[in-house]
Structure formats: C-alpha cells, structure tokens
Amino acid sequence: MARPKSQEKRDAILAAAIELIAEQGLSVPTSKIAQAAGVAEGTLFTYFETKGRLLNELYLTLKRGEREELMRDYPFQASLEERAHHFWNTYVAFGVNHPDKYKVAVLLRFSDHINEQVKRLGEEGYEALAAMVLECLSSGALKDQPTEFGAAILISLMNMTVELILQHPAEAERFRDAGFTAFWHAVTTT
C-alpha cells in the first residue's frame, strides 16, 4: 500500500521550484528542484509525474495566490477608475512584495509548458477584473482594438512598472502612479 502524500513535501517542492525557476529559468533540472526541496528526484515525480505536470501545478498554485491578493478588498461597487486603480496597485504590490512568485508566474503565463485547460483554470475567479478591463477598453483610444490588444498593453505596463520598482525601490510611488496614469490615459482619452 502506497504511503499518503505529504502536503509538506509537495509545498517544499513547489517552493523550491519557485526559487530556482526565478533564478535559472524554466530549464532548471528537476534534480536541482528536488535537491533544493530536500527530497529525492523520485519523490518529486511521485508528487508530479512529469516536469510539465509540475509546471502546470505550479502555475495554478501561483494564480490562486495572486487571485487571493488581487481580489481581496476589491471595490466591486466603486467607479471604473477606482476599480482599475485598485487592480493596478494590488497587482504591482503583489509583484514587488513577491518578486520570485511574480517572475515565475510571468514566465509560466507565456510558456508553451502550460496547457490550455490549465490556463483557463488559472483565469477562474478573475471575472470581475476581466469585466473591469473590458469596460476600460470600451471607450477611448483603444475602443476599436481587440480586447486582447488592450489587455496586453495593461499587462505590459504593469509588468514594466513592477520591474522598474524592483530595480529602483526609492521611486516606487512615482513609477506606480505614472504607470497607472499612462494606462488610464491610453484607455480613456481619444
């Protein structure tokens, strides 16, 4: 009879994967992840049958944590600008406060390793944010562009803002505010 899997070991593997992928990228060997987690490589594969499965599970874990932070205290009844500003500030804060998780989530989001079903699962719970982005994009200079284009601009500006703040923490407030202003003017001004 197989022993029950330990949540502690699973969490250690995921934590090691975050740390090493943030440092070395997606090509980091599973042997290094197992070693950093304090388990044998065979144990890693007991929890995650393949590296692809590990990366997909890691993506979902990161998206759940990100979603919890982004949706906490989300002002559902506020004005569009207030909702957008809250989302902006919360996303940027998540990236700055959890740089390794942020970096790995970005790498995985644009990776071929993550299958379409997992990407869809990762988007669950973000419906209010998706509606807010769609509402932002329905007027202004981007109104005639595909939603994906406007969303890509938003994500790119937020990621650029996080990266600049991580490089220049003393300028955090300035970069955060300037980034939001650039986004807001792009979507509300014609």
Number of domains the chain contains: 2
Domain shared by 98 and 181, yes or no: yes
pTM of the model: 0.89
What is the Cα 3 distance to its own chain's centre?
33
Domain shared by 41 and 119, yes or no: no
What is the Cα 25 distance to its own chain's centre?
15
Give the count of beta carbons closer than 10 Å to the beta carbon of residue 48.
21
pLDDT recorded at residue 43? 95
Residue 54 domain flag: no
Query: Does residue 130 contact residue 150 with C-beta atoms inside 8 Å?
Result: no
DSSP class per residue in the chain:
-PPPPPHHHHHHHHHHHHHHHHHH-TT--HHHHHHHHTS-HHHHHHHSSSHHHHHHHHHHHHHHHHHHHHHTT--TTS-HHHHHHHHHHHHHHHHHHSHHHHHHHHHHHT-TTS-HHHHHHHHTT-HHHHHHHHHHHTSSTTTTS-HHHHHHHHHHHHHHHHHHHHH-GGGHHHHHHHHHHHHHHHHH--
pLDDT recorded at residue 2? 59
Domain shared by 168 and 74, yes or no: yes
**Domain range holding 168?**
65-188
Domain shared by 75 and 27, yes or no: no
pLDDT in tens, 61-89: 999 999 999 999 999 999 999 999 999 99
Domain shared by 81 and 1, yes or no: no
* Integer Rg of the chain from CA: 19
pLDDT recorded at residue 190? 55
| Amino acid sitting at position 123 | E
CATH number for the domain spanning 132: value is 1.10.357.10
CATH number for the domain spanning 11: value is 1.10.10.60
pLDDT recorded at residue 141? 74
Residue 38 domain flag: yes
Given a cut of 70, the residues of the chain with pLDDT beneath it are: 1-3, 190
The torsion angles phi and psi of 79, rounded to 5 degrees, stand at -65, 165
Four-point Cα dihedral 181, 182, 186, 188, nearest 10: 10
